[in-house]
C-alpha cells in the first residue's frame, strides 16, 4: 500500500496527515510512505508516531536533513520491525550521518538506505559501501556527493575485501577525475562502475539512444553537436543518458 500526500494535503503537518490516514495505515501490513514537508524540529515526534504502523518503505527525501537527523533516523530504523528501505536522497547528510546509517544497515540485514545527493565524503562513503555489500545489495547509488578521488580509493579497497552481490556502483558528480580510473579498474570484475560523463559526437552515441526523433537527424549529419554519455567500466560499456545540442 502506497501513501503520499495529495496536492490538497501538502499544506498539512505530518501529524495531521497521519491522523487523516490513520485507518489506512492501521489496516495495511506493508506500507510505502512518503511524508509531506516538515521541519527538522518535528523529526523526533514524527518518528515516534511512525512506530505504530507497519511501514516498509519510508521516503524522507528533500527535507534538508542533517547528520543529527540521520542519527535519529538510524536509531529509529534499527528498532522498527518492518522498515526495509529509507530514501534520504537530496538532503544535507555528511559523514557522521552516513556512518550512523551504515551501522544501522549492519545491525539490520536487508535494510537499504538511498543516499544520493547529500554531502557525504570519503569516510562516510566507505562505511555505506561496506554496509550495503554486507546486506546483500546489488546496486549502490552515491551520486552527487563529495566523495572525490580519495574516497574512490577507500571504496575500491572495501569492495575488494567484500563485494557481496554488488554488480553496479554509481559515483557520478562526486568530483572524481581520470586519476581514479586505475583504482576503479581494479574493482572486482562483477561490478560495473559509473563515475563521470564523457562528451562525444552525437552521431557516435546514437546507436544506443532510445529516444531518436526526426529532429535528431541534423545532429547525426554533423560534428558540432555532442551528447553526454555515461563513462562506465570495467568493460568500457557506454550508455546514453542525456542528449544535448551545443
pTM of the model: 0.78
Each residue's pLDDT expressed in tens, for the chain with a length of 246 residues: 777 777 677 677 777 777 888 887 777 666 777 776 766 667 888 888 888 888 888 888 888 899 999 999 999 999 998 899 999 999 999 999 999 999 999 999 889 999 999 999 999 999 999 999 998 999 999 999 999 999 999 999 999 999 999 999 999 999 998 888 889 989 998 998 888 755 445 445 445 554 444 444 454 455 554 444 455 555 444 343 333 323
Cell of 230: 555515461
What pLDDT score does 7 carry? Answer: 66
Contacts with 218 (C-beta within 8 Å, 6 or more apart), sequence order: 225
- Angle CA(112)–CA(117)–CA(118) in degrees, nearest 5? 85
**Whole-angstrom distance, CA of residue 10 vs CA of residue 35:** 9
Amino acid at each position: 500500500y502506497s501513501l503520499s500526500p495529495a496536492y490538497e494535503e501538502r499544506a498539512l503537518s505530518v501529524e495531521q496527515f497521519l491522523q487523516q490516514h490513520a485507518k489506512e495505515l492501521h489496516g495495511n501490513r506493508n506500507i510505502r510512505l512518503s511524508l509531506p514537508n516538515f521541519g527538522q524540529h518535528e523529526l523526533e515526534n514524527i518518528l515516534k508516531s511512525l512506530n505504530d504502523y507497519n511501514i516498509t518503505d519510508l521516503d524522507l527525501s528533500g527535507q534538508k536533513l542533517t547528520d543529527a537527523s540521520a542519527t535519529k533516523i538510524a536509531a529509529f530504523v534499527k528498532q522498527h520491525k518492518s522498515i526495509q528501505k529509507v530514501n534520504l536522497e537530496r538532503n544535507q547528510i555528511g559523514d557522521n550521518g552516513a556512518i550512523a546509517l551504515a551501522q544501522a544497515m549492519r545491525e539490520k540485514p536487508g535494510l537499504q538506505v538511498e543516499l544520493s545527493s547529500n554531502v557525504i565524503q570519503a569516510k562516510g562513503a566507505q562505511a555505506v559501501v561496506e554496509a550495503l555489500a554486507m546486506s546483500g545489495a546489488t546496486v549502490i547509488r552515491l551520486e552527487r556527493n563529495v566523495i572525490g578521488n580519495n574516497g574512490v580509493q577507500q571504496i575500491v579497497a572495501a569492495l575488494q575485501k567484500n563485494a557481496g552481490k554488488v554488480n553496479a556502483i554509481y559515483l557520478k558528480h562526486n568530483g572524481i577525475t581520470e586519476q581514479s580510473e586505475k583504482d576503479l579498474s581494479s574493482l572486482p570484475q562483477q561490478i560495473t562502475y559509473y563515475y563521470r560523463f564523457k562528451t562525444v559526437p552525437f552521431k557516435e552515441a546514437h546507436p544506443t539512444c532510445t529516444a531518436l526523433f526526426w529532429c535528431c537527424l541534423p545532429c547525426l549529419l554533423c560534428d558540432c553537436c555532442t551528447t553526454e554519455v555515461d563513462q562506465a567500466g570495467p568493460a568500457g560499456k557506454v550508455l546514453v543518458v542525456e542528449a544535448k545540442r551545443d
